[in-house]
Amino acid sequence: MLVVFSGLPGTGKTTLSQALIKKKGFTYIRIDEIEFAIQQYNNSSEKIGAIGYEISFSIALSNL
């Protein structure tokens, strides 16, 4: 099962996700963390486009 949370900042996505992780033992993938790691690796603060989403989808697929 794949559950995706999307929405504006401060709407409770992370809070709800963390509750589901504790209750169901789901895997948690946060696109912001992936994008931050890519920027750190490239030593850049530029936007990286859709690559964070593509990596997240690959990780999610491998966990299904």
In eight-state DSSP terms, residue 6 is -
Helix 31-42 to helix 51-63 angle (10° resolution) is 130
pLDDT at 11: 94
Tell me phi and psi for residue 46, to 5 degrees.
Answer: -70, 150
The answer to whether residue 64 scores a pLDDT higher than 90 is: no
Look at residue 2 in the predicted model and tell me its pLDDT: 82
Whose tokens are 């709407």? That residue is 11
pLDDT digits 0-9 by tens, 18-54: 998 899 888 888 888 998 899 999 888 777 888 888 9
